[in-house]
Structure 1
Amino acid sequence: MNLPTRAQDAHATLAAAFNTGDVATVLSMYDYNGIIVPEPGKPVSGKAKFEEAIKAILSIKGKMEIKTVYCLQTGNLAVGRSEWSITDGDEVKIQSKGIEVMQQQADGTWKIVIDHAFGALENV
């Protein structure tokens, strides 16, 4: 799977990779020098922690859906707000509202630098 060449496509690319079990694409969507918040109040950084967080999310069986609420871009930076969930049939395994900061790479693709999966919830 190819990385997104438009910031507003990052959410759809991430969900598609998750739903096909494409761990390599999911991992390549992130800048390991950034921050990911896989659980409320527990930010992590660095390649090993990113991989651990991504693999934990991928271990949740079901279908991921990510709705882009907005994506604002200026130059090679963008911020997105998402509403996402992982469902298995009618069962909602997890759902939240996130905030993501993305940066365009030298090759024109976009990577997520900050992924606060719960960042748009109150009191997180």
Structure 2
Amino acid sequence: MPKAYKITDPSQTNATFAKIFNEGRNVDAWVSLYEPDAVLFDGPNPVIGHEAIRKSLAGLTNVPGAIETKVNFVGVNGDIALVRADYRFRHEGKITLTGSAIEVARRQPDGNWLFIIDHATGASVPSAWEAESGKA
């Protein structure tokens, strides 16, 4: 059974994901941050539900180093939150990967916030006009 992570503030969703990465990369703990029918964008194609998310996140267990995150903004409307967070992976003193995630979380009846949509690179993708013109 993974350690239970309770997120009482949606601005902590990305940081909690990073904490799990830095504490040992427990895939079950990551999956526990998602609603059962959540959507995770794995590259251009989304995966839906805990089993598909588990398979998708398993690849992160092999990524070396640590991850750092910073929240760019959080917008809350009732029980729904939109979060944009920037992150970077650091290994042996060097930044190996950076990105900007866009996530939607929902407050659960117990006050815990869980992902309903997670796009790890959603805020990093080029604009549709750049992609269309080949400048991306």
TM-score relative to the length of structure 2: 0.81
The structural deviation recorded for 1:38 is 2.9
The structural deviation recorded for 1:80 is 0.3
Distance (whole Å) between structure 1 residues aligned to residue 47 and residue 107 of structure 2: 21
Query: Is contact 1:3–1:25 with CA below 8 Å preserved after alignment?
Result: no
The structural deviation recorded for 1:99 is 0.3
Pick 1 or 2: higher relative contact order, CA cutoff 8 A, min separation 6: 1
Task: Give the secondary structure class of the aligned counterpart of 1:44.
Answer: strand
Q: Is 1:117 the counterpart of 2:124 in the alignment?
A: no
The structural deviation recorded for 1:102 is 0.3
Distance (whole Å) between structure 2 residues aligned to residue 92 and residue 32 of structure 1: 33
The structural deviation recorded for 1:109 is 0.4
Q: Is 1:28 the counterpart of 2:32 in the alignment?
A: yes
The structural deviation recorded for 1:56 is 1.0
Unaligned 5+ segments in structure 1 are: none
Q: Is 1:95 the counterpart of 2:98 in the alignment?
A: yes
The structural deviation recorded for 1:27 is 1.5
1:85-120 deviation digits (Å, cap 9, x = unpaired): 222123333221110000011111010111111111
Aligned to 2:69: 66
Task: Give the secondary structure class of the aligned counterpart of 1:108.
Answer: coil
Q: Which runs of 4+ in 1 moved over 6 A?
A: none
The structural deviation recorded for 1:123 is 4.2
Q: CA 1:29–1:82 in 2, change beyond 3 Å: closer, same or farther?
A: same
Query: Is contact 2:25–2:61 with CA below 8 Å preserved after alignment?
Result: no
User: Residue type of the partner of 2:110?
Assistant: D
User: Residue type of the partner of 2:113?
Assistant: W
Stretch moving more, 94-103 or 17-26 = 17-26
The structural deviation recorded for 1:13 is 1.4
The structural deviation recorded for 1:76 is 0.6
Distance (whole Å) between structure 2 residues aligned to residue 58 and residue 100 of structure 1: 21
User: Residue type of the partner of 1:60?
Assistant: V
* Of 17, 22, 40, the match for 1:19: 22
